[in-house]
Amino acid sequence: MYSLEELQDKVTTIIESKKFEKQPLSLYEPIEYAMHQGGKRIRPLLVFLAANMFTDDLEEAEYPAVAVELLHNFTLVHDDIMDLSPLRRGKPTVYQKYGINKAILSGDVIYAMAYEQLMNCSEEKIPFLVKTITSVLIKVCEGQAYDMSFETRNDVSIQEYITMISLKTSILLAGSLKMGAIVANASKENMNILSEVGLYLGIAFQLQDDILDCWSDLKDFGKVSGTDIADNKKTVLYLSALDKASEQDRQRLIDLYTEKNIDVQKKIAEVKGLFEKYEVRKDVEFLIKQYSEKAIESVEKIDVEGERKQNLINLIHKLLKRNR
| φ/ψ bin of 186: left (φ > 0), alpha (ψ from -120 to 50), beta (otherwise) | beta
Average pLDDT over residues 18-32: 94
Listed in sequence order, the residues at least 6 apart from 76 whose beta carbon sits closer than 8 Å to its beta carbon are 34, 88
Q: Is 87 helix (H, G, I), strand (E, B) or coil?
A: strand
Give the per-residue pLDDT at 217: 65
Q: Is 115 helix (H, G, I), strand (E, B) or coil?
A: helix
Q: Is 20 helix (H, G, I), strand (E, B) or coil?
A: coil
Q: Are 1 and 68 in contact (CB under 8 A)?
A: no
Q: Which residues of 62-86 are buried (b: 16+ CB within 10 A; e: fewer)?
A: bbbbbbbbbbbbbbbbbbbbebebe
Give the per-residue pLDDT at 21: 85
Average pLDDT over residues 137-143: 97
Give the per-residue pLDDT at 324: 60
pLDDT in tens, 262-279: 999 999 999 999 999 999
pLDDT in tens, 277-312: 999 999 999 999 999 999 999 999 999 999 999 999
pLDDT in tens, 79-137: 999 988 888 888 999 999 999 999 999 999 999 999 999 999 999 999 999 999 999 99
Indicate if the pLDDT at residue 223 is higher than 70. Answer: no
Distance, CA of 308 to CA of 192 (rounded, Å) = 17
pLDDT in tens, 145-184: 999 999 888 899 999 999 999 999 999 999 999 999 999 9
Give the per-residue pLDDT at 222: 52
Specify the range with the lowest mean pLDDT, choosing from 136-140, 182-186, 224-228: 224-228
pTM beyond cutoff 0.75: yes
Give the per-residue pLDDT at 134: 98
pLDDT in tens, 177-221: 999 999 999 999 999 999 999 999 999 999 999 999 999 765 555
Give the per-residue pLDDT at 270: 97
pLDDT in tens, 28-62: 999 999 999 888 899 999 999 999 999 999 999 99
Indicate if the pLDDT at residue 321 is higher than 70. Answer: yes
Indicate if the pLDDT at residue 10 is higher than 60. Answer: yes
Give the per-residue pLDDT at 153: 86
